[in-house]
Amino acid sequence: MAKLQGRAFLIVMDSVGCGGAPDAGDFGDAGSNTLAHIAQACAEGRAEVGRSGRLKMPNLDRLGLGAAVRLASGDAVPGLEAVPTGLWGAASEVSRGKDTPSGHWELAGVPVPWDWTYFPTTEPAFPDDLVAEVCRLAGTDGILGNCHASGVPIIAAHCAEHLRTGWPICYTSADSVFQIAAHEEAFGLERLLKLCADLAPMLHARKVGRVIARPFIGTCDDFRRTSNRRDYAIAPPAPTLLDWVQGAGRATHAVGKIGDIFSMRGIGHLHKGKSDADLFEHLVRLGADAEPGSLTFANFVEFDSLYGHPRDVAGYARALEWFDAQLPRFLAQLRPGDLAIFTADHGNDPTWSGTDHTRERVPVVGWGAGLREVGLCGFVDVGASVASHLGLAAQGPGRSFL
């Protein structure tokens, strides 16, 4: 067990799955593999926009990323062929979802004990009483959308009518979410955030995982979604790793979406940014400054939001290579006794059909534990291992691999 002064950094590369989930077929995702398929596309010259050649992630690969993908799925990962020098393995999820809250909660030691509520693919998608409540809270006579959709296309389809009527644009996806898009100026950012916050308790009671505010600005011919997105997530069903650490009197730092995902439970310090580049600067700073015995829990969302859902293979590869190239700056700040684990919450294979997440195992790659093959483990084992490193007892079902 590490000495008390050792710190822990749990870093989620959102959607960077590695295939091989035993139950992928139950989700229609048998054969999906985010990392392997990106690497194969790069090697075959099918990801040449803004980059070229085989996938280049030498820093994570040296720790064991390529080996983790091969362990998880048996798939070839061209370009990621180093002999591991760090902690490496792959984790499987038991929660019946391939969404952000399920993945993060289970990584933090708490599987989801219920089935999420998903909206049907019919049009309209939402029940009349939900639509009526949105209208009451928004002070409008109706809503727009009311269907399954991706964010940019549905804003493009309804932008003009939204600006004319003031009606919010409401949509969902294959995840358990209710999303509301509105113009920051014409509708009002604070009005949108209050609408989502006020609506969230009704949807959480129905086991809908998140209500998401999706603000945008600009004209209908030239609009863009802003960084003022806000997720109103249902609270975890039990204390998580963040609560365990904070309950022991230690400092906790949340970087990116972690505060939203955990409904701010167990979070002492919140570090937000407009981009993953901003968030990485927080991570580097915390590598230098975070308190002894503390936990830093970070989420880097743009792999998923900017490249996975739009099925942009080259963009996803560029993002992976950018992230890997930044890592030496962070790792150089770490101290003897620290542990950094890089993992993911689900997959989002940009070569796959549709626009939704994919059910996959996730890599577990670590710095600070020496060469250690942890094999196939559970998401919950990640949280238990971080707790063990910090000298704390895990309160959930996970078992430490340290």
Domains of the chain (ranges; CATH) run 8-113+237-390 (3.40.720.10), 128-233 (3.30.70.1250)
pLDDT of residue 190: 97
The DSSP letter of residue 26 is: G
* SS3 category, 174: coil
pLDDT of residue 3: 45
Task: For residue range 248-292, list pLDDT tens digits in order.
Answer: 999 999 999 999 999 999 999 999 999 999 999 999 999 999 999
Question: Torsions phi, psi of 362, nearest 5?
Answer: -125, 150
pLDDT of residue 1: 40
Q: What mean pLDDT is predicted for residues 98-113?
A: 95
pLDDT of residue 127: 97
Alpha carbon distance 258, 262 (integer Å) = 6
14 is known to lie in a ligand binding site: yes
Q: What mean pLDDT is predicted for residues 227-233?
A: 91
pLDDT of residue 79: 98
148 is known to lie in a ligand binding site: no
Question: Torsions phi, psi of 72, nearest 5?
Answer: -70, -40
Residue 41's identity, in one-letter code, is A
pLDDT of residue 174: 80
DSSP states of 1-12: ---TT--EEEEE
Alpha carbon distance 107, 152 (integer Å) = 30
Q: What mean pLDDT is predicted for residues 352-371?
A: 96
pLDDT of 246 higher than 70 = yes
pLDDT of residue 238: 96
346 is known to lie in a ligand binding site: yes
Q: What mean pLDDT is predicted for residues 313-325?
A: 98
304 is known to lie in a ligand binding site: yes
128 is known to lie in a ligand binding site: no
Tokens of 196: 């989502």
pLDDT of 2 higher than 70 = no
Q: What is the mean pLDDT of the chain?
A: 96
pLDDT of 348 higher than 60 = yes
Reported as half-sphere exposure (CB side, CA atoms, 13 A), residue 91 has a value of 37
pLDDT of 45 higher than 70 = yes
Q: What mean pLDDT is predicted for residues 10-29?
A: 97
pLDDT of 320 higher than 90 = yes
* Residue scoring higher pLDDT (3 or 247): 247
Tokens of 215: 């603000």
DSSP states of 232-286: EEPPPSS--HHHHHHHTT--EEEETTHHHHTTTTT-SEEE--SSHHHHHHHHHHH
Q: What mean pLDDT is predicted for residues 63-81?
A: 98
pLDDT of residue 150: 87
Task: For residue range 128-176, list pLDDT tens digits in order.
Answer: 999 999 999 999 999 999 999 988 899 999 999 999 999 999 999 888 9
DSSP states of 334-347: --TT-EEEEE-SSB
Tokens of 74: 């048996």
pLDDT of 359 higher than 90 = yes
75 is known to lie in a ligand binding site: no
